[in-house]
Amino acid sequence: MTANRPQPRKGVLQIDAYVPGKSSAPGVAKVFKLSSNETPLGPSPNAIAAFKAAAAELERYPDGQASLLRNALARRYGLDASRIVCGSGSDELLGLLARGYLGPGDEAIYTEHGFLVYRIAILTNGATPVVAPERDLKTDVDAILERVTPRTRVVFIANPNNPTGTYIPIEDVRRLRAGLRDDILLVLDAAYAEYVSRNDYEAGLELVATTTNTVMTRTFSKIHGLAALRVGWAYCPANVADVLNRIRGPFNLSAPAIASGAAAIDDIEHMERAKRHNDEWLPWVVRELTNLGFDVTPSVTNFVLFHFKENGSKNATAADEYLKSQGIILRKVGAYGFPNALRMTIGSEDDNKRAIAALAQFLKGAA
C-alpha cells in the first residue's frame, strides 16, 4: 500500500541518514568525547559573553543579513562582505549550494572518502552522486577530471578532508579548477583550514576572489568551539552569493549565533591558543599511535585516522567497544569506507593520555 502515501522525491530513500559522533557511553558516568573534532579549549570567553548578552533580546528576530558577523569576517580576512553568506553550520551552506545548482539529471562529484554530507545534499536534490577514487587517501585531481561528463554541475572537495585528515596543495586545487568547465561549480570545504600549517596550502580565498565558479565554505564548529550554535560561512563569487541569498531561510542564523560568531572571530589570541595546543598534541598522538603499531594516516587537522592491522579480535570494532567501556568515545568510520580504522580528535592532555593508555590496554588483552 505504499503507493497510497506521499512519496519523497527520487533519490531521498537512497540516503543513509548522517550518524553523528557519539556523545555518551552506556553505564559510564564521565565520558571523554573525541568523536566529533570539537576543540578541547572551548569557545572564546568573549563569544560566551556575547551569547549571554544576546539572551536579553530573545523576543526579537535576528538580523537576516547577519551583518555583524559578515563584517567581522570581512575585516579579519580582508574580504568583500557582500560576497560572504552565513549559514546554520557549513552543513546548511553545502545543502543550499546543492539546492541552488543541482536537480534531477545532473551529476555531482565527490571523493572516495569524502565528507558524507555531500552525498546527502546531492541525493536530496534528485541529482546523481559520482565518486572519484583517491590516491594514498588524498583527493586525486586527475580521477575527478576523468569523471566529468556533460551532466556534471558541481564538484565537492574537503581540503583538508574528513575523516582522512589529508590535504592537497593549492597548486593541485588550481589545476582542478583549470581542468573543469567554467559552468561547473567547485566547492572547497575548508572546515579545518585554521589547523593547517603547510606552506603549500591555501583554503582557496584567492581562487574564489578571481573566478565566478568557485566557493569556499568554513565553520565555527571546529577551532572556534561553537559547534552547538551552528555557524558557518561561505565566500562566494557575487553570482553564487546572489543564488544562496535567494534560497536561504530569511533568518537562518539565530541572534546568539551571530553575536558569538563575531566575538569569536575577533579573538585571534584564543584561536591561536587552540592552534598551538593542536600543534603540540597532534604529533604526540601520532607518535604514540605509531608506537602502538597502528598505521596512522598523516594528518594536518585536529584529528587522526588510524588503521588496525589485523581483523581478528583486536580490530577497530572491538577497540571501540573497549574504549567506550572506559568512557572514551572515538569515531567509527565504517560509513566512510574504513571498517577497520578509528578516527580520534585531538583532545586535552588528559583526554589524549587516557585514550592512548586505553588503546595500549586493549592491545595488551584487557578486552
Ligand X SMILES: Cc1ncc(COP(=O)(O)O)c(C=O)c1O
| Residues near ligand X (CB under 6 A) | 37, 89-91, 115, 158, 162, 189, 191, 219, 221, 227, 232
- Shortest spacing between CB 249 and ligand X, in angstroms: 15
- Shortest spacing between CB 118 and ligand X, in angstroms: 9
What's the grid cell of residue 362?
A: 586493549
Of 90, 71, 89, the residue nearest 81 (C-alpha): 71
- Comparison of 166 and 213: residue with beta carbon closer to ligand X: 166
- Comparison of 192 and 281: residue with beta carbon closer to ligand X: 192
Q: Are strands 328-329 and 152-158 parallel, antiparallel or unpaired?
A: unpaired
Residue nearest to ligand X (CB): 89
Q: How far is CA 318 from CA 76, 106, 192, 310, 312, in A?
A: 45, 41, 29, 11, 9
- Comparison of 224 and 354: residue with beta carbon closer to ligand X: 224
Of 147, 155, 98, 148, the residue nearest 122 (C-alpha): 98
- Comparison of 115 and 362: residue with beta carbon closer to ligand X: 115
- CA 239 to mean position of chain CA atoms: 24
Q: How far is CA 126 from CA 75, 105, 122, 129, 161, in A?
A: 38, 8, 7, 10, 25
- CA 122 to mean position of chain CA atoms: 16
- Shortest spacing between CB 312 and ligand X, in angstroms: 31
Task: Decide if 178 contacts 146 (C-beta within 8 A).
Answer: no
Of 291, 166, 178, 270, the residue nearest 225 (C-alpha): 270
- Shortest spacing between CB 108 and ligand X, in angstroms: 15
Q: Give counts: helices (H), strands (E), the chain.
A: 12, 13
- Shortest spacing between CB 188 and ligand X, in angstroms: 11
- Shortest spacing between CB 42 and ligand X, in angstroms: 15
- Shortest spacing between CB 171 and ligand X, in angstroms: 21
Of 98, 133, 91, 142, the residue nearest 113 (C-alpha): 133
- Comparison of 72 and 358: residue with beta carbon closer to ligand X: 72
- Comparison of 207 and 216: residue with beta carbon closer to ligand X: 216
- Comparison of 232 and 256: residue with beta carbon closer to ligand X: 232
